[in-house]
Amino acid sequence: MLIQKEIKLADVIHHDYNLIPVLNRFDIRLGFGDKTIEEICIEKNINIEFFLTILNAFHDRQFFPKKHLQSFPAKLLIQYLNKSHLYYLEEKVPEIEFSIEQLKNNTDLSPETFTLLKNFFEEYRNELTNHINNEEERVYPYVQKLEDAINSGKISDTLIQEMEEYSITDYEEDHDDVESKLYDLKNIIIKYLPSSENDNQYFNLLKELFMLESDLNEHSRIEDLILVPKVEAMEFTLKSMKS
């Protein structure tokens, strides 16, 4: 199913409820009645093509038009990625931490195993937070400066110096695979936790971890396959301008 602007958004959610977090990143809240995607985007001043492209990329893993996504302004991509960060840190991570706490009194975990599991996720949370902080404090502002320079046709001496000291290739090299620790955590739960009469607590935690992992994978695809090549092209253009 290709999601198109004439479709009612409620019908889209009935078809794939996993898209609800994506709606929140565009400040779309539930309660939109029978409005079509086009009607909602016009009402909220949302770029329809960008919204549809992101929705379809999440809905269908085979749908990922790199050239089309790279045609959108970097500002749009950054706004979306920033909203994704908020979702991870303010919603998904606290939900997972709560699910882990539930294991303490509702399963047969020993205090030592519970502490190990909790500490493992805390380490992951810290890695994810540091990764996000680096993107928001260093990478995204740098990208916005490049786009502003491209749009104005002018490049300042300050930006020239910044480009000499930093490049998006540095970000590629330092772009740690924060998802790998999630895989390790899932493995601990699946392979090594003691069986319990209340396995539903394990299932709930695993579901939250799988959902976060899937979302992070999409997030990384947009950064690695869309944002980075777009920035590399901007860097090349600006270096040509100053030559």
Sign of CA dihedral 79, 23, 179, 63: negative
- C-alpha span between 230 and 94 (Å, rounded): 33
Amino acid found at 77: L
Write out pLDDT tens, residues 117-136: 999 999 999 999 999 999 99
The predicted-structure confidence for 58-102, as pLDDT tens digits, reads as follows 999 889 898 889 999 999 999 999 999 999 999 999 999 999 998
Average pLDDT over residues 29-41: 97
Mean pLDDT of the chain: 90
Helix (H, G, I), strand (E, B) or coil at 105: helix
Q: Distance of alpha carbon 105 from its chain centroid, rounded?
A: 32
What is the Cα–Cα distance from 188 to 185, expressed in whole angstroms? 5
Strand, coil or helix: what is 114?
helix
Distance from C-alpha of 202 to C-alpha of 189, rounded to nearest angstrom: 7
Give dist(CA 238, CA 190) in Å, integer. Answer: 50
Instruction: From 156, 132, 135, select the one nearest 145 (Cα to Cα).
Output: 156
Per-residue pLDDT, averaged over 180-185, amounts to 85
Q: What is the pLDDT of residue 109?
A: 84
What is the spatial distance between Cα 13 and Cα 232, in angstroms, rounded to a whole number?
A: 36
CA angle 15, 209, 207 (to 5 degrees): 50
pTM of the model: 0.89
Residue type, 41: C
Report whether pLDDT(211) > 70.
yes
Over residues 107-117, mean pLDDT? 86
- Bridge partners (DSSP) of residue 8 are 36
pLDDT greater than 60 at residue 236:
yes
Establish how many alpha carbons lie within 13 A of residue 24's alpha carbon, considering only the half-sphere containing its beta carbon: 14
